[in-house]
Copies of this chain bind each other. A is one copy, B any other.
């Protein structure tokens, strides 16, 4: 039941070789990994882009180290924050500086242990913003963490509720599903909240274009067709008398690197971060956000726990989207018109993703591009009709 996209060792094919090679994600990005409240003094192990990392909080700050003691390979997440600013391996008491990874003390070898300073552990940049812990993975010097956080999440009046899960399936399946124009019209048709509102049958003129600030690849639709006459099938979907047709402005949906969906609803916004764990699993970190203060803020938190979390993230997202993400098996694939949203995202990744400084996955065209520079919108739009 494993849904695995082509592993990075496979030869890249087609027009998105960087994207095809990125089974473990794009490097040189800040990734959200846990909610702030999930990391305390007890070390916590995570895997991010295939790398094993231990997170630990000390005197209010969170630190991240490679989760392997160089001595005998025991995970440092088995150890303890035994002394301020230091993490001690459970096995022999090798004790590392949380900020630098330097081996500072080896308890079981005396104060004069000659190995101190000679066996150090890699550290990872960590930041906390918006109630979330962000870890930087890559070889290039990290940009400010704000570069990889949707800016409105940092507003004073952002009321943020979150949810983190490890899920099966490569992160790219999750991203592609999130911008996939077609599936919502059929897969999500049978849910409680579609019972009283009419749901479109299909959409005319899907195209993707960068947002004004160049951060997001936005999905645009010319027209939603609410019912239609199909060959062999006739009128579809069947109209129910009690359903009202929503003629308001459609949802605003966008995606950005390194794999963040944003859906702006009438009065709250859904952020979905699809974070690579390994080639077979991703971390889904969801943030439900409303910009409010006082009573409306409290009401939104109540709505999150009573309604948004169980229905939106549970029934729809875990019960339907994740079901499909685990079933997908490509290549091969055979795309159709609404998949222009998917191919535009692949092309965006191919052109926009930051290059690998270590050259491991970098291609000449990608390596020579400045990190984070937005690609021309025209080329992205052109991709919107590539499928038939």
Binding site for B on A (CB under 8 A): 68, 70-75, 78, 83, 85-86, 88, 90-95, 104-111, 113-116, 118-119, 180-183, 185-187, 201-204, 225, 228-233, 236, 323-324, 327-330, 332-338, 388
Contact = CB atoms under 8 A, between A and B. Distances in A.
What are the 10 tightest A-B residue pairs by CB atom distance, in nearest-first order? A93-B186, A73-B329, A108-B182, A108-B185, A70-B334, A92-B182, A110-B202, A115-B336, A74-B327, A119-B334
Contacts of A75: 327
A113 B336 contact: yes
A335 B115 CA distance: 9
Main secondary structure of the interface of A (DSSP, over half): loop
Contacts of A113: 336-337
B336 A71 contact: yes
Given A85-B232, A106-B336, 19 more contacts: A73-B330, A74-B328, A83-B232, A83-B233, A90-B323, A90-B324, A91-B324, A92-B187, A94-B336, A107-B185, A107-B202, A108-B181, A108-B185, A108-B202, A111-B231, A113-B337, A115-B388, A118-B388, A119-B336
Contacts of A86: 232-233
A203 to B, nearest CB: 8
Given A83-B232, A104-B231, A231-B104, A333 B110 contact: no
Contact of A337 (B93, B109, B118, B182): B109
Nearest to A336: B115
Contacts of A203: 108
Contacts of A119: 334, 336
Contacts of A118: 334, 388
9 contacts: A68-B329, A74-B327, A74-B328, A83-B232, A105-B233, A107-B201, A107-B230, A107-B236, A109-B202
A43 B74 CA distance: 39
A194 B91 CA distance: 17
